[in-house]
Structure 1
Amino acid sequence: MSSISDNLGSVTRRIQKATLQAGRELDSVSLLAVSKTRSAGELREAVAAGQRAFGENYVQEALDKMAGLSDLPGIDWHFIGPVQSNKTRQIAGAFSWVHSVDRLKIARRLSEQREPDLPLLNICLQVNINNEATKSGCRPDELPELVPEIGQLPGLSLRGLMAIPDPDQPEAELRASFRKLANTLKQLRQAFPEAGPLDTLSMGMSGDMEMAIAEGATWVRVGTAIFGERPQKS
């Protein structure tokens, strides 16, 4: 059975290979270890192997891990799950990134509740790129209205877009979904240069990270390939 350290090494090599094959700089793609439902001990092992950025979906679970790992400096916490209005204060106070902002109301609450002595909260707008009825995210056609409004909110830095394309699509359609998100970001950056850096594409997971990197991903969100399959709930 591979260790978390071994798995991290394997994932890192996959990222590096895909990045070079795409003709990109090696440091242009970052690894976000998706650590929801994983124990603080597993995260501690990943930190010992050099991983610093972790993605969490559940606020209380994440806060418990932050407390349990408070002796480890330099951990970068990203919130990647659906953002509920009653959780924005905790998210604004504890995380450095939120990848899953999908409406103006949530962005405004994060802005209002981010303490002024903290660094800007990096956010990505989650896009329902395939218009799936069961998936969170704004529609692509809503972005031209959302981006300039969110880009001017204090306390936030609008970094880019996030999507979770339908993994059951044929490969050509999945690649097209990644490309569509990348092209959308490029168009927004040209149309709204004052809105924020707009330099981030959070897309690609364990099974499709190479495809996402080829289309421009800057963060790939990987859980299973690092920590193994999650145990089945009883």
Structure 2
Amino acid sequence: MRKETIVENLNAVGERIVTCCNNCARNPAEITLLAVSKTQPAEALRIAYEAGQHHFGENYLQEALQKQDRLADLDICWHFIGPLQSNKTRAVAGHFQWVHSVDRLKIAQRLSAQRPHTQPPLNICLQVNIDGEHSKSGVAPQAVAALAQAVVPLPGLRLRGLMAIPAAQRDPAQQCGPFAELARLLQALREQFPEQPLDTLSMGMSADMEMAIACGATIVRIGTDIFGVRK
């Protein structure tokens, strides 16, 4: 993709965020745009960075590590957003600032133990299978509180909030339901753990970003509308 196209797309997404926030009485500064850069070449990320985009989300560890090496001169905030297996936790713990896809205690314990002491605690979100889909990862909504209870004391982690990938719905009203439920779950955690910085709802992608923001999203994960359709 041409440099001009990536820059234009970033500007367009930024304008969508501002318009949506104006329509639902939110401050655009509350929204972090996370550029989902899986399968994109490092050169595309550099173009986006130079245009002002500093948060990037990667799904595949080896691909991400290669990009991090090539882009080591940039002050990028790296988010791991894909399914996380036990044999990948050490590398993720050492090379990312955020992990959005923690869905079981074993993974959280490994990330905490393997987070280098020279780095601040790793910011994490608990991934919630908000629709109960068998094909998706995530903790069941009714198990969120118990998992959070076990994760909060882990010294290498900082629990920041929740993440979900709801099933696509044709009816906007139906799409709002899962987002609103995730927001409700986060509010319950805030009441359960008032001392924790539970400020993050990672939800919403290219097709449903506006609905997610209206329902309280603080991080929107946008790939296609920035980099185009993945090859």
Q: For 1:92, give the aligned amino acid.
A: A
Q: TM-score, normalised by structure 1?
A: 0.95
Structure-1 residue corresponding to 2:78:
77
CA distance in 2 between counterparts of 1:188 and 1:21 reads 27
Task: State the partner residue of 1:41.
Answer: 43
Residue identity matched to 1:60: Q
1:74-223 → structure 2 map (5 Å cutoff): 74-168=75-169, 170-194=171-195, 196-223=196-223
Unaligned runs of 5+ in 2: none
Match of 1:65 in 2: 67
Shift of 1:193: 1.9
Write the distance in 1 (CA, Å) between the matches of 2:201 and 2:36.
Answer: 16
After TM superposition, give the deviation of residue 170 of structure 1 in Å.
2.8
- Measured after TM superposition, the shift of residue 169 of structure 1 is 5.3
- CA distance change for structure 1 residues 129 and 169 in 2, over 3 Å: closer, same or farther? farther
Correspondence for 2:27: 25
SS of match in other structure, 2:35: strand
Q: Deviations along 1:195-216, whole A, 9 cap, x unmatched? A: x211100000001100000000
What's the CA shift string for 1:28-57, capped at 9, x where partnerless?
011000000000011011011110000000
How far 1:171 sits from its partner (Å)? 2.0
Q: Distance in 2 between matches of 1:15 and 1:26?
A: 7
Q: Which runs of 4+ in 1 moved over 6 A?
A: none
The 2-side partners of 1:112 and 1:22 are apart by 41
Any gaps of 5 or more consecutive residues in structure 1?
A: none
The farther-off stretch of 21-30 and 129-138 is 21-30
TM-score normalised by the chain length of structure 2: 0.97
| Number of residue-to-residue matches in the alignment | 229
Match of 1:27, SS?
helix
Query: Alpha-carbon deviation of 1:172?
Result: 1.4
- SS of the equivalent of 1:3 reads helix
C-alpha deviations, 1:85-124, integer Å up to 9, x for none? 0000000000000000000000000000001110110000
State the percentage of identical aligned residues. 58
